[in-house]
Amino acid sequence: MKTRVAVMGIIVEDVDSVAQLNDLLHTYSKYIIGRMGIPYREKGINIVSIAIDAPQDTISALSGKIGNLPGISVKTAYSNVTGDE
């Protein structure tokens, strides 16, 4: 199956959803290339960036699940780089 490289930008406004977010990221960890989290204390939010290499359906599913968490928003940018799983 073809994979794509993408970056997910995640904004966490509700810290009560962090455990659910981490559980999701753990579930998809075999696809995650890297992760960076930045606490922005002055604004009371956290910014998380995820680099991922997975089938497009898998990326979309993860993005949808993250977006359904309360107090969390996500946007995904896809590259044109593809590969085989």
The structure's pTM equals 0.92
Q: Which amino acid is at 74?
A: V
pLDDT digits (tens, 9 = 90+) for 26-80: 999 999 999 999 999 999 999 999 999 999 999 999 999 999 999 999 999 999 8
Q: Do the beta carbons of residue 7 and residue 47 sit within 8 Å? A: no
* Burial (0-12, 13-18, 19+ Cβ within 10 Å), 71: middle
- Of 48, 61, 54, the residue nearest 78 (C-alpha): 54
CA 64 to centroid of chain Cα atoms = 10
